[in-house]
Amino acid sequence: MSLTSSRWFPPVASATAAIAVLFLMGAKSPPTRFDEIDVGRINVREPDGTLRMVISNRAQFPGSPWKGGEVARPDRTSFAGMLFINDEGTENGGLIQKGAIDADGKASAGLSLTFDRFRQDQVIQLLHRESGGRATSTLAFNDEADGTEIDLMQRTARMAELRKLKPEEQEAAFAKMKAAGQLPTNRIRLGTTGDRAAALALADAQGRPRLMLIVTADGQPSVVLMDEAGAVRKTVDLQTK
């Protein structure tokens, strides 16, 4: 005779048993769906609790996730946005943004979409800044150190120590770090300038600009070649008028 017969279980007990069987078999309830939701912050976590993404308003925006913990970032208190976090619980990029009208009645805005090297800082940046009626938009690619050899926190601590040195000692120590590839170096920068020109700058591994393509706001293009000291070696101006 079936064990689910009413002779053996009353109706309520029978339903409870069926639910228990489904639970033991791994049955999943359907996902909850919302047409609209108001929320201050969303934490996306792995089954083991590892934080993988944060979407937050300005008031609840986190510091920098780092190896499962969090490092305070008081410089982020004016931004809302999203953080990307890798498998070990360390930040590896994000989107932050803000915008308002300043005391002079002009727009003051900023947007940053970035992707970091492992345990390091930004290697890809999409940036927009606006202040005092002037705006710039930039796409940048940077070199960063191997985060398994010197990570962002170690570098930050090292730089804090160097700033206690005398100016000439600081300069020598920072130059040594740069030569060792331990400081961020911009390699490619493409964007618009405050005077509404469009520009592309290419730099060598030491971050020294070597080639620039520029088109001014009034449409005049030019090519600028520079040596390792930053001196202009050749300029090609193409007259289009």
pLDDT digits (tens, 9 = 90+) for 187-230: 999 999 999 999 999 999 999 999 999 999 999 999 999 999 99
Q: Could you give the CA distance from residue 240 to residue 232 in angstroms, rounded to a whole number? A: 22
Q: Could you give the CA distance from residue 78 to residue 13 in angstroms, rounded to a whole number? A: 56
Q: Could you give the CA distance from residue 35 to residue 211 in angstroms, rounded to a whole number? A: 51
Residue 111 pLDDT: 97
Please check whether residue 79 lies inside any domain of the structure. no
The predicted model gives 164-170 an average pLDDT of 95
Of residues 3 and 178, more confidence is placed in 178
Residue 45 pLDDT: 96
Q: Does residue 11 carry a pLDDT above 70?
A: no
Please check whether residue 234 lies inside any domain of the structure. yes
Residue 103 pLDDT: 84
Contact call for residues 107 and 149 (beta carbons, < 8 A): no
The predicted model gives 139-168 an average pLDDT of 96
Please check whether residue 174 lies inside any domain of the structure. no
Please check whether residue 228 lies inside any domain of the structure. yes
Please check whether residue 130 lies inside any domain of the structure. no
Q: Could you give the CA distance from residue 152 to residue 154 in angstroms, rounded to a whole number? A: 6
The alpha-carbon radius of gyration of the chain (Å, integer) is 27
Of residues 180 and 4, more confidence is placed in 180
Q: Does residue 241 carry a pLDDT above 50?
A: yes
Please check whether residue 197 lies inside any domain of the structure. yes
Listed as own residue / partner, the contacts of 212-215 with beta carbons closer than 8 Å and 24 or more positions apart are none
The phi-psi region of residue 6 (left if phi > 0; otherwise alpha if psi is between -120 and 50; otherwise beta) is alpha
Q: Could you give the CA distance from residue 177 to residue 181 in angstroms, rounded to a whole number? A: 6
Q: Across the beta sheet with 51-56, what order do the strands follow?
A: 41-45, 51-56, 80-85, 91-101, 107-116, 122-131, 134-143, 185-192, 198-203, 209-215, 221-226, 232-237
Q: Does residue 55 carry a pLDDT above 60?
A: yes
Query: What's the predicted TM-score (pTM) here?
Result: 0.84
Residue 9 pLDDT: 43
- Where b means 16+ CB within 10 Å and e means fewer, 175-209 reads eebeeebbbbbeeebebbbeeeeebebebeeeeee
pLDDT averaged over the chain? 90
Q: In whole angstroms, what separates CA 203 from the centre of its chain?
A: 22
Q: Does residue 238 carry a pLDDT above 90?
A: no
The predicted model gives 168-196 an average pLDDT of 95
Contact call for residues 109 and 100 (beta carbons, < 8 A): yes
Please check whether residue 219 lies inside any domain of the structure. yes
Q: Is 97 exposed, middle or buried (0-12, 13-18, 19+ CB in 10 A)?
A: middle
Count of the separate structural domains present in the chain: 2
Contact call for residues 186 and 207 (beta carbons, < 8 A): yes
Contact call for residues 67 and 76 (beta carbons, < 8 A): no
Q: Could you give the CA distance from residue 198 to residue 138 in angstroms, rounded to a whole number? A: 10
- Residue 134: strand pairing partners: 131
Please check whether residue 14 lies inside any domain of the structure. yes
Domain containing residue 28: 1-33
For residue 16, name the pLDDT band (cuts at 50, 70, 90). low
Q: Does residue 3 carry a pLDDT above 50?
A: no
Residue 30 pLDDT: 86
